[in-house]
Amino acid sequence: MSGRFLVLEGIDGCGKTTQIEALRAWLPASGLMGPGARLVVTREPGGTALGRALRALLLSPPEDAAPSSLSELLLYAADRAQHVEACLRPALASGDWVLCDRFTGSTAAYQGYGRGLSLATIHQLETLATAGLEADLTLWLDLPLAGSLRRRGDRPADRIESAGDAFLQRVSDGFATLARQRGWQRVDGGLPREQVTARCRELIATQLGGAPSREGHG
């Protein structure tokens, strides 16, 4: 039996963390998962021991050690390659379900549309790092940048978040473009939390109720 791979994408502040915790509680009792299947909840960057070290370098590097845009992209690719090999593929091969906070779409949005790096290069690295692994379902929590900034409030920004509003708007626009291109399921992240949760559950039940296909989903 093959497991299922579910990804949540969106700009910071869109509600991914809240919805992942809601899905963590709901999925094991939903009746969707096969007998004996576990729910693996993970994230990028940081889903492995190596990934946690890379996450620190990416988001909170030592003074004067911030990576260049290209170095940043390569570090994300390294995190993903380790994540796929050490966590995602073994879990899916065991019939487990994987719930992941960010995957390849975030790299295209942040490093491609945000940083302006070549989308063709990003796609090549994505192909190399994933070896063809793609999500069965990607939920895009769509929230305008103004809403994201309002939710963040006075919380200290990490290195990516502090790149400026123009950068974050390009990222937000990039997510919208990627959602159309890759067939993601849009969820209005501006709705009340309970309504967002209900919509996520509905989409998962509708989209993942049949037989899985590991390659070729957006």
Instruction: Please name the amino acid found at residue 185.
Output: Q
- Does residue 213 register a pLDDT over 50? no
> Mean pLDDT: which of 11-15, 58-62, 65-69, 119-123 is highest?
119-123
Q: Which CATH architecture has domain 5-207?
A: 3-Layer(aba) Sandwich (3.40)
- For the whole model, what pTM was predicted? 0.91
Whether the pLDDT of residue 216 is over 50: the answer is no
In the predicted model, what is the mean pLDDT of residues 104-109?
Answer: 98
**Residue 151, both tokens:** 């939710």
Provide the pLDDT confidence category of residue 112 given band limits of 50, 70 and 90: very high
3-class DSSP assignment, residue 140: strand
- What pLDDT shows up at residue 1? 45
Mean pLDDT of 193-208: 97
Q: Is the pLDDT of residue 199 over 50?
A: yes
Q: Are 187 and 137 in contact (CB under 8 A)?
A: no
Residue 45 confidence (pLDDT): 96
3 state SS of 9: strand
Q: What is the pLDDT of residue 218?
A: 40
Q: For residues 190 and 164, which has the higher predicted lDDT (pLDDT)?
A: 190
Give the residue with greater pLDDT, 215 vs 123: 123
The rounded mean pLDDT for the chain is: 93
Higher-confidence residue: 151 or 43? 43
For residue 124, CA distances in Å to 19, 74, 79, 81 come to 31, 11, 15, 13
| Structure token digits, residue 31 | 């009746």
| CA angle at 131 for the pair 127 and 137, rounded to the nearest 5° | 85
Instruction: Give me the pLDDT at residue 63, please.
Output: 81
Domain range list for the chain? 5-207
Q: How far apart are CA 18 and CA 38, in angstroms?
A: 20
C-alpha 50/C-alpha 141 separation (Å) is 28
Residue-wise pLDDT for 131-187, tens only, equals 999 999 999 999 999 998 888 777 777 788 888 899 999 999 999 999 999 999 999
Give the DSSP letter string of 71-127: HHHHHHHHHHHHHIIIIIHHHHHTT-EEEEE--HHHHIIIIIIIT---HHHHHHHHH
